[in-house]
Structure 1
Amino acid sequence: MLSGAASPTMLLSLSGLWLVAVAASGLLALRAHERNRRRDARMAAVVRAYRPEPAVELSAFKPLHRARRPLAVRAVGLLGVDVAGTDLYPLPWWIVPIGAFVAVGILMFMMNDLVGVYTIPIMVVVGIGLCRAGFGWMTDRRRERQLRQFPDVLSTIVRSVSVGIPMLEAMRGVAREVPEPTGPEFSRMLEQISIGVPLEDGLRDMAARSGLPEYRFFATSLALQTQTGGSPRATLEGLADVIRKRLALKARGYALASEARASAAVLAVLPLVLGVLLWLTNRTYIRLLFTDPAGHVILALAIGSLAMGILMMRAIIRRTLT
């Protein structure tokens, strides 16, 4: 009886010991496998020829990833305002929209009988167009000054580097000596570097603010120089020479196109001058355009065709000179 009762207990004990032994051997095997994997990884890291480095984007032509802007900022941007660069305008940016909409409001009040119920939509569209034209004119004027100053800036940096002055000190000299708008741009870039921003990021931000491809070439060449070493003297001298030649070619193009631009200006102003002369000499004849419904249609078509002709002539001349 005792041996029969002890037999199942013995079997259960042996089974438990067998399971424990199997689990222990499995754990030991896993630890040995992990140890061998780590050893192989260390050996592979030591014996291989090189370690792959993460790709570094050096080009300043790659667009920056901007965060999604709030709705109010996008609404203001519809007027052509560069919200991030409002300090670059020669006057407070809000003066331009106020002046544009006041001028359009006065004009629409005087022509209320002509446009009728379309007064508000026309006022909004024309006001936005005037704002964008004003901000675009200020931006183009600033970029033109920057481009004209840039060859001398590059020559100054090259001369400073040639006599042993570090690149950052050469750019500080540019920030101190070059007038607006190039000097303040370099000052802003150097302030970013002084608070810990890498040189490549500071140059890239300055190139993005300027909107000029020449600044992007400058930023890319200096970024490559800081990564690979060497002197950027030859690159900067070549860039300065190319910019000078481009400016000379552009000036020659404007001189050759002066006759076409004068003709376009005369053709644009002539209908307005004739309209004013007819108003002064024969008001009864010209008043039909403002009082008769058919005259409204004729006047609207005349204004639309004149505006379309001016825009087309302007686009052709600018595309030819670009």
Structure 2
Amino acid sequence: MTIILTRAYLAVTGYPQIGSGSLHIAHALYGGALLVAALVIEWAFLGSRARTTSVVVAGIGFGLFLDEVGKFVTKSNDYFYYPAADIMYLSVMLVVIGGQIIRLARKPTPHESLSNAADIAAQGIASGLGTSRRRVAAALIDRAESQGADPKTVNTIRELLSQCPDSPERILQMRLRIIRWIPSALLAPWCVTLAGWALVLVSLEVSLSSIFHVNFRPSELLFRDTHGGDDLLAISNNSYLVLSGATFLLAGFAMLARRRARQNQTGIIWPLQLLQAVAIAFTLIGAVFDFAQFGFGGLISLGIGLFTMAVIANETNTTIRGMTLKQRADRIRL
């Protein structure tokens, strides 16, 4: 978001520069300063508010720094270097996906559950706890206790949690307000059905167009103009053939399994999780080639993919909220 806003501001204002003569203070420097500020906030203050603030400040700083990557990888300091969009995208995805892999690699041990609960309690002592965070900590403690954690330690952390003052959950309240602005139709199950089967059909079309080298891929219809020449197009076709073929098979299977689960009212979520994983892979990997061929125009197809992922995630979260507290505790990652 920082990159998009920065590029939009510069385009509207005619790319102004701070400095005079031989001096030019690039906004990458402001990005580096904000990254340092985020570290200082994390080191100097305790509590969830400070942590949230440091994450926001660091995100803005990273975006400002990354926006000028074209200058760093070219001898001519070319801010408009065409593959810069791909470099930015891959850098962000490496951070996001790497962090998710670390968090989801395995279920937390009882000691890790207690440690996470203690961390929440420590933040709560510093800045208070909202209802949802308190429930998460309680679920972690109960999970650790059921798996044989030391009763004395469990009781100590539970007592510490009970001493945390209440605090309004402003971020959660803001999130709920935003959700209330979203048309209810977009949160209905039929929207997931439409998005899921659209993913199946689009992946089939992309697979067939890649096999027969037909210039009728959805992204090419959106953007028309392509860059990179025949070599890039050949790489894109071969990669999309594998990606879209796997997406067609897995997404189709997930949609059929979801339909059966809804008919039987079993409440299982693995079809939704599989569908979301497929949508994430298809969107994020496909966007690499879209950015390479169409530059920042690739944001359009990425936006469509993110919408698909969002409606699937909403139904997944709705299903999870219907689970017992113990079932939900196994899914908590901090």
TM over 0.5: no
TM-score where L is the length of structure 1: 0.29
More helix by share: 1
TM-score where L is the length of structure 2: 0.28
Q: Which of 1 and 2 has greater Rg?
A: 1
